[in-house]
Amino acid sequence: MSQRTKIKALLESEQTNMEVTVKGWIRTFRNNQFIALNDGSTNNNIQVVVDFENTDPALLKRLTTGAAISVVGQLVASLGKGQKVEVKATQIEVLGDSDPEKYPLQPKKHSLEFLREIAHLRFRTNTFGAIFRVRNTLSYAIHRFFNDRGFVYLHTPIITASDAEGAGEAFKVTNLDMANPPRVENGDVDYKQDFFGKATNLTVSGQLEGELGAMALSDIYTFGPTFRAENSNTTRHLAEFWMIEPEMAFYDLEDNMDLAEALLKYVISEALKYNADDIEFLSQRLAEEEKQKPQNERSEMGLTEKLQFCLDNDFQRLTYTEAIDILKESTPNKKKKFQYLVEGWGTDLQSEHERYLVEKHFKKPVILTDYPREIKAFYMRQNDDGKTVRAMDILFPGIGEIVGGSQREERLEKLEQRMDEMGIPKDELWWYLDTRRFGACPHAGFGLGFERLVLFVTGMGNIRDVIPFPRFPKNAEF
């Protein structure tokens, strides 16, 4: 087998007039002469020129959109417009045919909704090729960021008996006979007879186990799938999503915010550096989509500008209480334009409020801190005012909440008191409470929703388009 060169390398090649082997999938074949070939290494196709007069007509017929081929030929400077180099084929082999009558991807624009239905093939479009290359860069950059800072990548369990967020949105894991489960006297299912000898679920967050690691390794992070059975059919929620959760001993909330801001800026700059072509393509895609919208709904910045803007500006930091004051006095609140009017202190912010703060008021990413304790999880450190906790949420333009985190309650008594108030079973979390008994220290951490990050960097509008095979209510295809 001769050495195959990837298309990205061929297009960047300084050298021409040499024999190359290239393999990929045909995007288009026009005039019986020009193949646009793509192998996923870049958004750009290489042009393969076919000597059709000296090629078997039976073979020409098989050069259809979607077919996989192997080409041997000369890499030469291109005379045509649009590409610097092309391959003059001397030998073409069809590795896998693709019946043009049946192949669902035609060389034309398909709607994102349609492509979602053929998610097994959508990788072969320019848009999804770009999205998944950017996703890969972001993932790798996250690991590099933490590794460079001496963080330990900790693999927390996927199956667990706890509900870290206490929101009751966990998927059950069981191998009991669903049609006829064993029961205890009062009729409840007897989970003692289940696989793990107790009721278990898919994790909603690796944080609690992450904290255990941080209490010895100092700085850890998890990066894995998390699962939530929340029935929110929105463009921002998935039932299965990936989350990055760093947890740091001896950090307070300020340190936590600094780290989160540095992480976001670093990974965005890495995407701009390594995926310039893809982001340029996605930027144009977004610009075209924006043109369909009425003038007043169009965003002021293009994708590249928006990303650069994030890098160039400090995130605006303010407390929840300050944010409520701004929202109360805001025009949409006074003119009753918000769907949920902001009246008093203490209610959770809706995404329309978050987006107002970010997109209209501050016009940059915002970090809100010190939320009312009633709307936050039990593990957040309580402030002296008796009302708020040391929480922080990072809000991004077009996305809303991208990061949620806090300084943790390290004082055993305060933590137990809060768990009692919120009905969190202390006996089940004995191991978590042990860290507060033995060498407790101030610590903090946060969770970054990976798909929300990919959504932001790619400028896509629906979270279902930035994960290969989205899971959401009534959908687990592929």
**CB-count burial class (<10 Å; 0-12, 13-18, 19+) for 461:** middle
CB closer to ligand 4AD, 91 vs 231: 231
CB closer to Mg ion, 29 vs 221: 221
Query: For 388-421, b where at least 16 C-beta lie within 10 A, e where not — what string?
Result: bbbbbbbbbbebbbbbbbbbbbbeeeebbebbee
CB closer to ligand 4AD, 86 vs 393: 393
- Residue 238 engages ligand 4AD in binding (rule: CB under 6 A): yes
- Give the helix/strand (H/E) hosting 413: helix 412-422
Contact partner, 366, from ligand 4AD, Mg ion, none, Cβ < 5-8 Å per class:
none
CB closer to ligand 4AD, 401 vs 416: 401
- Residue 241 engages ligand 4AD in binding (rule: CB under 6 A): yes
Which residues are 93's β-sheet partners? 70
Residues within window 393-412 making contact with ligand 4AD, judged by CB under 6 A: 401-405
- Residue 138 engages ligand 4AD in binding (rule: CB under 6 A): no
CB closer to ligand 4AD, 29 vs 378: 378
C-alpha 271/C-alpha 275 separation (Å) is: 5
Which residue intervals of 345-385 are DSSP H helices? Answer: 351-355
Which of 277, 221, 257, 255 is closest to 44 using CA atoms? 277
End-to-end CA distance of the chain: 33
- Residue 252 engages ligand 4AD in binding (rule: CB under 6 A): no
Task: Extract the tokens encoding 61.
Answer: 């017929």
Minimum CB separation of residue 358 from Mg ion in Å reads 15
CA Rg value for the chain: 27
Q: Which residue has the tokens 């006829």?
A: 180
Minimum CB separation of residue 391 from Mg ion in Å reads 9
- Residue 245 engages ligand 4AD in binding (rule: CB under 6 A): yes
How many residues contact ligand 4AD, by CB under 6 A?
22
Contact partner, 165, from Mg ion, ligand 4AD, none, Cβ < 5-8 Å per class:
ligand 4AD
- Residue 447 engages ligand 4AD in binding (rule: CB under 6 A): yes
Closest-CB residue for ligand 4AD? 449
Q: Which of 73, 129, 224, 449 binds ligand 4AD (CB under 6 A)?
A: 449
| ∠ Cα 137 476 202 (to 5°) | 75
For residues 181, 182, 188 and 193, what is the CA-based torsion angle, rounded to 10 degrees?
Answer: -110
- Residue 446 engages ligand 4AD in binding (rule: CB under 6 A): yes
Residues within window 147-166 making contact with ligand 4AD, judged by CB under 6 A: 164-165
C-alpha 432/C-alpha 443 separation (Å) is: 14
Residues within the interface to Mg ion (CB under 5 A): 404
Which residue intervals of 203-275 are DSSP H helices? Answer: 207-217, 253-274
Which of 104-112, 292-300, 430-438, 449-457 is the region at the interface with ligand 4AD (rule: CB under 6 A)?
A: 449-457
Binding residues (CB under 6 A) for ligand 4AD: these are 164-165, 205, 207, 228, 230, 237-238, 241, 243, 245, 401-405, 445-447, 449, 451-452
